[in-house]
Amino acid sequence: MNQTVFRAGLLDGQVALITGGATGIGFGIAELLGSLGAHVFIASRKQEHLDAAAASLEKQGARASVVTVDVRDADRVKTMIEQVQRDRGRIDILVNNAAGNFYAPSESMSANAWKSVIEIDLNGTFFCSQAVFPVMKAQGGGRIISISMTLHYRGWPLMAHATAAKAGIDALTRTLALEWARHGIRVNAVAPGPIPTEGVRKAFTPPSAGGVPDVFAVERALEDYARKSIPLGRWGTPADIAGMVAFLASPAADWVTGSIFVVDGGEWLARGQSRG
């Protein structure tokens, strides 16, 4: 992380746990919180992702630890929280970022497909928040930040499972904020707009002409989408989302709870309007 508006050492002595923290947006969040002095625990199902991410964080000078977890498993989540607390003595920041997603028509979506996304996104967010509660309560406060989305604001075909789960996360954010404010625990969410992950890039890959892959075609298609559909004219980056998470984790947000912040270059507001 080269540049940040946050002061060095802002999170010194603090412990941040980021689910799905080994890749994508979660890794961007780990990089920023780590660069601000937090000891970051990144959690993922996949050890190989964790090892690569931890090595990169340490190379950047961050204090990082890894923990394997499937957030669908409430018992395993409890064990993870105990492990972090045993290791560092506290947990100041929980970022519920782990998510699963794929396009599937509602009429043929299997019960297991529905269940797997609801369990990762919604149950996982609840299990992790519930498990960290006693730790944060005992230490006099903490911050929980969940990653939501904007697609459920109007509905999004082929994403019944993910939109339902993320709407649930928004509801949980408000409810937990009210229940836990008296313990000094602030609960907020960030709703990212489009970030060109591998899945998005795949969706933007046009069929190759005459069998010859055009290596610039994806970039052109992405640029075209940004020009037409994102008022601020560019795709987001994990750093854009991480900046909002760091703000919410910081004392600058001490009077902010139960809020959901859209960080999307204006995309959802402009959805359906073409900028030509």
Question: What character string, x for contact with ligand COA (CB under 6 A) and - otherwise, covers 179-208?
Answer: ------------------------------
3 binds ligand COA (CB under 6 A): no
Q: To the nearest whole angstrom, how small is the minimum distance from the Cβ of residue 234 to ligand COA?
A: 20
| Residue placing its CB nearer to ligand COA in the complex, 256 or 260 | 260
Of the candidate spans 113-121, 126-134, 174-182, 266-274, the one that interacts with ligand COA by CB under 6 A turns out to be: 113-121
Handedness of CA 98, 101, 107, 111 (dihedral sign): negative
110 binds ligand COA (CB under 6 A): yes
SS3 39: strand
102 binds ligand COA (CB under 6 A): yes
Query: How far apart, in whole angstroms, are the C-alpha atoms of residue 20 and residue 66?
Result: 11
71 binds ligand COA (CB under 6 A): no
**Residue closest to 19 by CA, chosen among 116, 114, 125:** 125
Backbone angles phi, psi at 65, to 5 degrees: -135, 160
Where are the extended beta strands (E) located within the chain?
Answer: 15-19, 39-44, 63-68, 93-96, 142-147, 185-192, 260-263
The structure tokens listed for 131 are 């498990």
100 binds ligand COA (CB under 6 A): yes
Q: To the nearest whole angstrom, how small is the minimum distance from the Cβ of residue 132 to ligand COA?
A: 22
- Sheet of strand 15-19, all strands in order from the earlier edge strand to the far edge: 63-68, 39-44, 15-19, 93-96, 142-147, 185-192, 260-263
Of the candidate spans 32-40, 98-106, 176-184, 246-254, the one that interacts with ligand COA by CB under 6 A turns out to be: 98-106
Q: Which amino acid is at 36?
A: L
Q: In the set 1, 52, 74, 104, which binds ligand COA (CB under 6 A)?
A: 104
Size of the site for ligand COA (CB under 6 A): 10
113 binds ligand COA (CB under 6 A): yes
Q: In the set 3, 61, 75, 112, which binds ligand COA (CB under 6 A)?
A: 112
**Residue closest to 97 by CA, chosen among 176, 44, 20:** 20
Site for ligand COA in 115-154 (CB under 6 A): 116-117
Distance of CA 155 to the CA centre of its chain: 20
Of the candidate spans 6-14, 60-68, 101-109, 130-138, the one that interacts with ligand COA by CB under 6 A turns out to be: 101-109
